[in-house]
Amino acid sequence: MMTCEEVRLSLGAHAFGALEPDEAVLVEAHLAECVACAAEFDELSAVSGLLGRVGHVSESDVAQVVSPPVVVLDRLLKVSAARRRRSRLLLALAASVVLLAGGGAAWGVLSGSGGEDASIAAEQYAASSPAPVVSGDGPASGAAEDSAVLGKESAKPETGPGAEGAEEPSVTAQVPAASSPPQTARDGGDVRVLESASPRESVMKAAPDVVMSGVEGKVTATVRAAARATGADLTVTVSGADLGAVYRLDVVGADGTREKAGTLEVASAADAVFRATTTMPLTTVVRFELQGDGDVVIRIPVKSR
């Protein structure tokens, strides 16, 4: 006769029908007489029964659960680190250049090289109306008001919620706490800009979006550029890139000047779309460059118009 203790330890194997026939008979005889062991067997049978019900869990499935690909974790951490780098870059940028849009108008806030020279350029345009011609010189040694003059004869938008602002520019741009408070330069109807970047001729004409592409290996990159008062808004689409790949977007001017417009991290299995801005006028841009790991460079030439 089997004791309860002996039977208990055999119940697991019995629930799978793994006992030798002679022992199985002995166990069944005990279960018929012992309520406690029978209850225990019912519990264990329910567990083995559940395994049978979700029958398509296989041995290899279990192995996969035990050891998911660690490469995924590595890439996730890499994306997270890239995002952190980018966040720091954006924070650094926010301290000197802030572009704010609202009510159909946009204000470019450009701080000068010295805190005292900071001024606001309140240049208004409706997103879809012809943009005004902007010309600016580099920073002069004199007063901020003299350093650059913005022509705004044609700045009045034809339509749009920003129309009344053209008559009476209301400078309501919010200044993030991170940046030093800029002074507002307003002189009658004139709006002035202090260009803090390297001295260069900056001319912007009204132009439709420009779309151009570049291919390198299996990766295709497309840049859609929309001219803005101080440069251009860029929408970059990257297809075929490896997940986790990080690219640096450079804007290259005709005179060889190079501006870093942003860092892109490919975090999507589908086409990855990024937005960036450049302060370089679109008319002076000869190409965009996406620089990846190693020596990978995707060149995206701008066709002459």
Residues 173-212 interacting with another protein (rule: CB under 8 A): none
The binder of another protein chosen from 25, 28, 43, 190 (CB under 8 A) = 43
Choice between 165 and 244, CB closer to another protein? 244
The binder of another protein chosen from 68, 188, 256, 294 (CB under 8 A) = 68
User: Measured from the CB of residue 30, what is the shortest distance to Zn ion in angstroms?
Assistant: 6
Selection from Zn ion, another protein, none that 44 binds (CB < 5 to 8 A by kind) is: another protein
Q: How far is CA 256 from CA 127, 222, 288, in A?
A: 30, 21, 12
- Taking the C-alpha atoms of residue 91 and residue 22, their distance in angstroms, rounded to an integer, is 76
> What phi, psi does 33 have (nearest 5°)?
-110, -20
User: What angle, 0 to 180 degrees and rounded to 10, lies between the N-to-C axes of helices 4-15 and 35-53?
Assistant: 20
Choice between 57 and 206, CB closer to another protein? 57
Residues 78-117 interacting with another protein (rule: CB under 8 A): 79-81, 83-84
Binding mask 10-39 for another protein (x = CB under 8 A): xxxx-xx-xxx-------------------
> What phi, psi does 299 have (nearest 5°)?
-95, 130
The binder of another protein chosen from 4, 47, 95, 254 (CB under 8 A) = 47
Q: Are 133 and 204 in contact (CB under 8 A)?
A: yes
H-type helices in 54-118, by residue range? 59-66, 70-96
DSSP-assigned beta bridge partners for residue 258: 252
- Taking the C-alpha atoms of residue 197 and residue 230, their distance in angstroms, rounded to an integer, is 11
Q: Does 270 bind another protein (CB under 8 A)?
A: yes
Q: Are 125 and 162 in contact (CB under 8 A)?
A: yes
Q: Which residues bind Zn ion (CB under 5 A)?
A: 4, 34, 37
For another protein, the binding residues (CB under 8 A) are: 8-13, 15-16, 18-20, 43-44, 46-51, 54, 56-59, 61-62, 64-69, 71-73, 75-77, 79-81, 83-84, 237, 239, 243-244, 267-274
